[in-house]
Structure 1
Amino acid sequence: MIIPPSIANPGPARSRPDTDRVMRLGSAQTGDRERAAIEAVLSHQVFYRYHGSEVTEFEDAFAADVLAGQRALAVNSGSSALQVAFAALDEEPGFEVLVPVLGFASAATAVAAAGGVPRFVAVDASLGIDVVAARAAITDRTRAVLAVHMMGAACDLAAVGELASAADLHVVEDVAQACGGTFAGRPLGTHGTAAAFSFQHFKLLSTGEGGMVSSPNDAVMDRAQCLHDAASPWVDPDAFARVPRLRVAPSNLRMSELEGALGRTQLARLPEWIDRLRVMKRFLLEHIERVAGLTLRPIPDPSGDIGTTLVFRAPDPGSAAQIVSGLRTEGVNAGNLLGPVGMNRHFAGDWGPLLTQCGLSPAPPDLVVEAREELASTVVIALDLRWDERDLSETLTAFERVLPIGSA
């Protein structure tokens, strides 16, 4: 399958190689607008959210623009958002959550911090939770299922919703990697009991660190408000009346005015960025889908994909490694979904030491072995908002050098 670099093409196809191997999305688009927003906060010398307006304005705009009016609560990270979301479910300690083996490590630690126990489940070809495996993993202690939307696209929320309805489970959406996406015409983050977003440096909407919690349930959001800020009752005197009891001690996970200013400014540009990424991804897909032997990632609702990544499966892990190496030589930011064994914070099979540290059981060995084989065959191309037509054309040239593009 792999075509060695031609002697006639001694240099990389990309004249501006993606050499740093990291995603460049919202953080790479910061400019005068973001600078002005930050300078305004600095000039006011008010960084605390309750003495300023930036975080509140960000929450209100996010609720309106991303969540179709559903309430939003800003926190200091995506991991904090998950922790607050799980704790706000108000389940008894020891409750189980079905957690896919692919996601960020804090998916498991957030469950534990909320008094729960993660129960690991396989993912399907779309990289979302495998509903058949999830159904088989349900016990009498299972109370929730985590729907992780990986690499810009939703998991099969229709199937997850049916499972949750039949088993009387909460659906918690992890929208860290798909902010602004949709499923069946509805915004991601509005399909379950609660949702968590991340605005970490590598996300499309980036505040460096930051997150958002959302729920259509007022009781959940009232608990979330108290959980994310131990001093909430002094800011909102009615909080004790609305939330007389918490199963988890509250903390201080507030977002500052600096992150709020960045988030509010970047949010206004989110639709434009998603449109650009979708155009770039469609261009590449039109050519790459003809590569013999590759299987494009099936996406349950392609129209809702925000377009941050292009994902396909090679016949086996060895082929995937060769493709990644070849594309990197040509200057393309390609990667394997897993990377070196033991080093992936997005694969539950590599979380063993962390889980043990938290008093949790690692993912079952047979599940890890099977999932590692599948995921190691997957190649990921990170799209870049800095790309122009030349970058796209040269990326396609890189594929043509490494892979036989033609009739599959």
Structure 2
Amino acid sequence: MKKPLLFIAIFTMSITLSFSQVFDSLTVIHPDYNIQDIARKGDVLYAALAEGGVMYSSDEGFTWTATADLPDAGFGDEAAYTILTASNGDLIVGGNTNYSGNPLGGAVFRSSNNGTSWSAIAVEGYAGYEKSEKIVELPNGNLMMQAGQSKLFVSSLSSNEWTQCTSPGGVILGFEAIGDMVFTVTNPAGGNAGTWVTSDLGQSWQRYGSNGSPIGSGTVTIAPVIKSGDYKYIGIGGYYDPKGIYRSGINDTLWVEVNNGLNSSGIYPICMATDNQTIWMVFQDAGGGCSFTSTSDFGDNWAEPIQGGLPQQGVGGPCVPKMMVFKTHLYTFANKSIYRIEDVAIPASTGEIEYKDNYVDVFPNPVSDQLNIKIKKTGILNGKWEIINIYGQVMMSGELITNSNNSISVEVSQLTPGYYLLKTDTEDKISVTNFLKN
């Protein structure tokens, strides 16, 4: 018979938050190629460059080195437009094809060795000039990719090909995976304006929300749907109402406007980022300039917007297309340069963890990449494990089948820096311990 949970893991934290409100330009990644996307894996940053392949930085973005060349997918360049760090540690890069005779049918690349080598993955129906806009991963290892304005493709971490699935129709402006669901936001000009969701890999789509979405009519701009804590958020701007920031519970279908502190009539959201405690947003104002703001109370109140050193013009449009929290810093990019605000997140060194369990060891702690889990009991054990964030949400899970040393290793590089609980459930005991992700 299983024993009840023996303890409650306790975090003892002494935290001083330090905020710098100015983006500083770190460096030009490459003098010839524009940056299209950035990602992180452990302590390494990766950048996808248009016609320039993939580069990486091991010193928080100050210096950059090229990975191995991407395979020639039939168009003679190294187009890289989006990059994803998958849960199994693979790097997945989406490019484009402007050559209909491409024998691969498309251009998606995978590396299982941090960019030392790349393999090409076939994409069925990926013809014509359609670049990969974004690739997302679902908890079960399935992948979905947006290509061009309206096409969607599905694959998995174990597959060597992509196949086209249905889309809700219209031009896709926002595209994000939250849990086992994929959300898209479509332009009114496409005839199917609204927020749409699929939980069956694009076999069917349903409108999300009582009126489909908070989107009105006319041309809009979308800051993609993001998840922060127990809520999801969407930013909407355009020439017609409504505009602004909207929030919905993870399991709710009603969008609520959360614009306090913002002039919603002049907001054109461009991108948002979060560390599950603070949300940062870049938007274009009515005068065409770019500003920056943040909220730490779930969007109920926003800080006074400032320009904060933001580049005012990026590739193909204003400002910056994406932000990302890495360690304690907030990163973005425009054209050929990487920008950063220092110390916007909780510094990893300020937390102290008090352990209350003698059954499970986790190390190293703090951890960046591989978390080792050791059960202090003789004999090989079977069970399951879960990694839970500070909001009680299960972020990762798997089978707990230990080796002869009663230990397993889990890749946690994709987790946002912060505090987590590790719950193990073996044949005779449920146990919880805690760790810090750098």
Taking CA–CA contacts closer than 8 Å with sequence separation of 6 or more, which of the two structures ends up with the larger relative contact order? 1
TM-score (norm 1): 0.28
Higher helix share: 1
TM-score (norm 2): 0.26
